């Protein structure tokens, strides 16, 4: 039997009516956030943040909270580079242990000499060294699959972007884009041991960032990560530290409010409000917010000179979050290239950067591709007289006997 839609229809209606009721609460929360924003002093909040211990992620405020910057004129000649990836995870029901990463690459040049190069780089990983990360000190291993494979894919995307940038002409302003966040969130927290972070961030991710920064020393090259429909709350969380929402001189969430039930803390008036809600009320088309800093522990601990800065951008019908390394944020020219380039990319791409959109199209692995990949693996194993054993559970799913 497939999903019984009749049984789920009533539950969907309940969900919709619940959201409708909570909408009024959310509007009140947003109004409070905007009101607080209108009087908040960024330098006061920033100074308080450095003295506080919060249970939520607060933006490091480099600029104001409500700054607006109109879109600069886009360069007449520029290039957009983009990389996006898809992967086929390790499948324990498949006869061979392996995974596949497919990277889509795009290089589009605009202006006097328009051209485009679209491509994909599928790679199958099968060796033991591909399947596990090893701690050279202790000999412990960590299997590369699931969320960790997603992190590896993000690292490979950045490495491919660095390679693409190195191969692209240096005589034209170049915007190098990746989809999603620059922050490897899968590696945050305590889920993985330190050697995993060392292998993926120190040994792979940061060298790729270094390559891009090195290129940017001698040519106009800007790296940016584009987050569509962001759910982040870094800026709203900064408002929580404003004196109107947090009465304490030095916030310590666990000590002052840890015993209070959810919704009863003084700062809970802005709960549920996301940064994009706030900036959609502030930014006109083409405008960006001030640049601020993420204080994510993984960035502060591991990223060094590549500290992740971000701004919000109204480049279409949605507010996007744009993440840039410090060396882009600190360069007015590169920041301007990111801002104008992304507005132009979104205009050409019906609201989403066209280079990223095409990179996604090059990278995407469809359900049909996954099935075909599976058949190819089994056929190849069979041709080499290797056992093509699959789990009985998997066989049961595929045969659907009665």
Partner 1 sequence: MGEVVESSSTGFVAQSYRLYGAPHLGALVRTGGPYPAYGVVHEVATRGIDPSRRPTARGEDEATEEDVYRSNPQLEHLLRTDFRAVIVGHVGEGETRYRLPPSPPPIYAFVHECPADEAAVFSSSTDCLRLLAGSGVAALEEVVSAFLRHAVAAQADPQAFLAGAGKQLAALFPGDFRTVESILLRVAP
Query: Binding residues for partner 1, per CB under 8 A?
Result: 106, 108-110, 114-118, 347-348, 350, 354, 358, 361
- Shortest distance, position 41 Cβ to partner 1, whole Å: 41
- Shortest distance, position 350 Cβ to partner 1, whole Å: 7
User: Residue 370: CB partners within 8 Å, gap ≥ 6?
Assistant: 88
**Phi, psi of 317, rounded to the nearest 5 degrees:** -85, 0
Q: Which is nearer to partner 1, 115 or 399 (CB)?
A: 115
- Shortest distance, position 121 Cβ to partner 1, whole Å: 16
d(CA 113, CA 76): 11
- Shortest distance, position 72 Cβ to partner 1, whole Å: 18
Phi-psi region of 61 (alpha: psi -120 to 50; beta: other; left: phi over 0): beta
- Shortest distance, position 73 Cβ to partner 1, whole Å: 15
Whether residue 170 contacts residue 218, with contact meaning beta carbons closer than 8 Å, is answered with yes
- Shortest distance, position 110 Cβ to partner 1, whole Å: 7
Q: Which is nearer to partner 1, 116 or 229 (CB)?
A: 116
Q: Which is nearer to partner 1, 103 or 298 (CB)?
A: 103
Q: Which is nearer to partner 1, 108 or 187 (CB)?
A: 108
Phi-psi region of 351 (alpha: psi -120 to 50; beta: other; left: phi over 0): left
User: Residue 17: CB partners within 8 Å, gap ≥ 6?
Assistant: none
Q: Which is nearer to partner 1, 172 or 199 (CB)?
A: 172
- Shortest distance, position 104 Cβ to partner 1, whole Å: 12
d(CA 138, CA 40): 50
**Phi, psi of 401, rounded to the nearest 5 degrees:** -75, 160
Q: Which is nearer to partner 1, 42 or 108 (CB)?
A: 108
Q: Which is nearer to partner 1, 131 or 364 (CB)?
A: 364
């Amino acid at each position: 039997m497939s999903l019984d839609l009749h049984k789920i229809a009533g539950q969907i209606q309940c969900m919709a009516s619940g959201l409708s009721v909570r909408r009024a609460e959310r509007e009140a929360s947003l109004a409070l956030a905007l009101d607080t924003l209108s009087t908040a002093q960024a330098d006061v909040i920033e100074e308080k943040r450095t003295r506080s211990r919060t249970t939520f992620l607060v933006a490091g405020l480099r600029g104001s909270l409500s700054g607006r910057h109109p879109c600069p004129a886009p360069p007449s000649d520029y290039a957009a580079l983009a990389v996006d990836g898809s992967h086929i995870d390790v499948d324990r029901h498949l006869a061979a242990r392996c995974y596949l990463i497919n990277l889509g690459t795009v290089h589009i040049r605009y202006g006097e000499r328009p051209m485009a190069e679209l491509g994909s780089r599928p790679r199958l990983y099968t060796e033991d060294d591909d399947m596990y990360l090893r701690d050279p000190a202790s000999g412990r291993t960590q299997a590369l699959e699931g969320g960790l494979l997603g992190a590896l894919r993000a690292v490979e995307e950045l490495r491919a972007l660095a390679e693409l940038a190195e191969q692209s002409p240096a005589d034209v302003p170049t915007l190098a884009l990746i989809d999603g966040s620059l922050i490897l969130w899968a590696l945050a927290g305590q889920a993985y041991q330190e050697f995993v972070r060392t292998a993926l961030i120190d040994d792979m991710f940061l060298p790729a960032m270094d390559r891009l920064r090195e290129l940017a020393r001698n040519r106009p090259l800007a790296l940016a990560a584009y987050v569509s429909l962001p759910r982040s709350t870094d800026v709203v969380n900064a408002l929580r530290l404003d004196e109107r929402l947090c009465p304490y001189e030095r916030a310590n969430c666990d000590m002052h409010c840890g015993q209070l039930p959810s919704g009863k803390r003084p700062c809970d008036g802005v709960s549920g409000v996301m940064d994009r809600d706030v900036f959609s009320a502030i930014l006109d088309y083409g405008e960006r917010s001030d640049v601020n800093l993420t204080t994510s522990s993984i960035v502060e601990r591991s990223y060094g000179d590549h500290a992740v800065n971000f701004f919000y951008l109204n480049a279409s019908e949605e507010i996007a979050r744009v993440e840039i390394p410090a060396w882009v944020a600190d360069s007015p020219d590169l920041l301007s290239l990111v801002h104008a380039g992304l507005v132009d990319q979104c205009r050409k791409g019906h609201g989403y950067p066209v280079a990223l959109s095409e990179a996604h199209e090059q990278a995407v692995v469809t359900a049909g591709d996954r099935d075909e990949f599976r058949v190819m693996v089994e056929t190849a194993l069979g041709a080499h007289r290797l056992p093509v054993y699959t789990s009985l559970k998997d066989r049961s799913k595929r045969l659907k006997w009665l």
